């Protein structure tokens, strides 16, 4: 029996080792093939640009058809990297012009990749983003292809297609894709959305205006991402977003995002609205109360101080923390908060003493 198990173990080990060896052999062959394809494309581009080959305005139809193979598409991008990322502006422009002169072929290629595996579809979208095939004023079939790719259940396909749309720089296309995404079950992480919008290659201020004008057409997840984009991109929307804050919304995360916008871009005329989120009772939306407490560090005044003092006794730890921190950042003297320091609420006193001491220490360190 022992010999039987020993023989079985040796047999399994040999099979695994054989599989690994076969895998390495196949990978080696694949790598050599890919390197050969890349070198072929590199030579092709060198002949066109370095040697000033005649007729270099477009890629020949027979040559372009090679890109219907994913291996050739990968090699094409790798082979042209030296020109795509060239330190010389002339070479970069020559390469991009060559790409754009074959625009109709890229559209047909996109349609073909739209029928391929999701991973290949995602790679085509990646190529569109990297090569920035479209200009901001163009909203054409290639743009629509990227919009459709962004609606795929695959996060890779969706993210790469969205990045392509950001790279194209067309405001209407970005608005349209998020309108459609808001109606699907595929939710894209809002951090990825915000980061992507910040990479938009067109007019970012114009994009912010367009997103605001269509704000109600997006679901809450994308609304939060867009308000974060407004805040991080310095979008001058303070006179418009206040309307959303005044009318309120059922989604507390959207409200918190709007409040944070007014922390970075304080408008003293809107202090009453900010205060209302701290002084009203929001048992289910304590996050909004906590955020308002933090935002009020930018809105000095006796009314602010009194509201923050009340918030120090909140049952929610984060509300107390932010209220104490804001009082400290407002530079309030100990005399103004003596009622808290001499009061019976030990939690409020402890939090306030700690935050005021931390603020003083930070100011000393910063000179």
Domains 61-231 and 237-367 share a fold: yes
What pLDDT shows up at residue 8? 58
Q: What is the mean pLDDT of residues 256-263?
A: 96
Is residue 89 exposed (0-12), middle (13-18) or buried (19+ Cβ within 10 Å)? Answer: exposed
CATH code of domain 237-367 = 1.25.10.10
For residues 28 and 347, the model is more confident at: 347
CA 305: distance to chain centroid?
Answer: 37
- The CATH class of 61-231 is mainly alpha
What pLDDT shows up at residue 11? 60
40-44, 195-199, 211-215: least confident range: 40-44
- Say how far apart CA 238 and CA 265 lie, in whole Å: 7
What pLDDT shows up at residue 17? 62
What pLDDT shows up at residue 284? 67
Q: What is the mean pLDDT of residues 23-34?
A: 63
For residues 333 and 195, the model is more confident at: 195
- Say how far apart CA 15 and CA 11 lie, in whole Å: 6
Residue written as tokens 């367009």?
Answer: 210
Q: What is the mean pLDDT of residues 178-187?
A: 93
85-99, 228-242, 258-272: least confident range: 85-99
User: In the predicted model, what is the mean pLDDT of the chain?
Assistant: 88
What pLDDT shows up at residue 333? 80
The pLDDT tens digits of the residues spanning 237-253 come to 999 999 999 987 778 99
Q: What is the mean pLDDT of residues 37-43?
A: 89
pLDDT band at 29 (very low <50, low <70, confident <90, very high): low
pLDDT higher than 60, residue 55: no
For residues 356 and 164, the model is more confident at: 164
Most confident of 181-190, 222-231, 311-320: 222-231
Q: What is the mean pLDDT of residues 281-306?
A: 88
Task: Report CA-CA distances (Å) from 125 to 56, 133, 169, 233.
Answer: 25, 11, 15, 25
**DSSP characters over 131-149:** HT-S-TT--SHHHHHHHHH
pTM: 0.86
* Contact between 125 and 163 (Cβ < 8 Å): yes
What pLDDT shows up at residue 54? 46
- Say how far apart CA 292 and CA 260 lie, in whole Å: 8
Query: Domain boundaries in the chain?
Result: 61-231, 237-367
Task: Kindly state the percentage of the chain with pLDDT values over 70.
Answer: 89
pLDDT higher than 50, residue 160: yes
The pLDDT tens digits of the residues spanning 94-104 come to 899 999 999 99
């Amino acid at each position: 029996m022992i010999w039987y198990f020993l023989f079985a173990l040796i047999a399994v080990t040999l099979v695994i080792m054989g599989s690994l060896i076969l895998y390495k052999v196949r990978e080696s062959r694949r790598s050599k093939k890919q390197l050969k394809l890349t070198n072929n494309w590199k030579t092709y581009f060198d002949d066109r640009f370095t040697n000033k080959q005649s007729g270099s305005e477009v890629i020949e139809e027979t040559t372009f058809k090679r890109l219907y193979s994913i291996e050739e598409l990968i090699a094409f991008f790798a082979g042209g990297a030296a020109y795509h990322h060239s330190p010389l502006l002339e070479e970069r422009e020559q390469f991009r012009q060559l790409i754009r002169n074959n625009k109709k072929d890229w559209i047909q290629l996109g349609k073909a990749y739209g029928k391929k595996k999701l991973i290949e579809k995602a790679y085509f979208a990646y190529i569109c983003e990297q090569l920035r095939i479209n200009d901001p004023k163009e909203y054409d079939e290639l743009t629509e292809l990227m919009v459709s790719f962004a609606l795929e259940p695959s996060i890779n396909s969706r993210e790469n297609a969205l990045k392509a749309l950001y790279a194209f720089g067309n405001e209407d296309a970005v608005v349209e894709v998020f309108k459609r995404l808001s109606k699907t079950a595929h939710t894209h992480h809002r951090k990825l959305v915000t980061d992507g919008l910040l990479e938009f290659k067109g007019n970012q201020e114009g994009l912010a205006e367009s997103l605001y004008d269509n704000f109600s057409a997006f679901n809450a997840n994308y609304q939060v991402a867009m308000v974060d984009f407004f805040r991080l991109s310095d979008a001058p929307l303070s006179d418009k977003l206040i309307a959303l804050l005044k009318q309120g919304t059922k989604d507390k995360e959207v409200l918190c995002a709007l409040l944070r916008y007014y922390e970075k871009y304080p408008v003293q005329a809107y202090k009453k609205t900010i205060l209302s989120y701290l002084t009203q009772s929001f048992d289910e939306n304590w996050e909004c109360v906590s955020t308002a407490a933090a935002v009020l560090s930018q809105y000095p005044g006796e009314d602010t101080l009194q509201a923050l003092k009340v918030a120090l006794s909140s049952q929610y730890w984060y509300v107390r923390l932010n209220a104490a921190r804001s009082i400290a950042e407002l530079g309030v003297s100990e005399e103004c908060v003596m009622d808290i320091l001499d009061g019976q609420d030990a939690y409020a006193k402890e939090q306030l003493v700690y935050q005021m001491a931390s603020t003083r220490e930070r100011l000393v360190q910063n000179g």
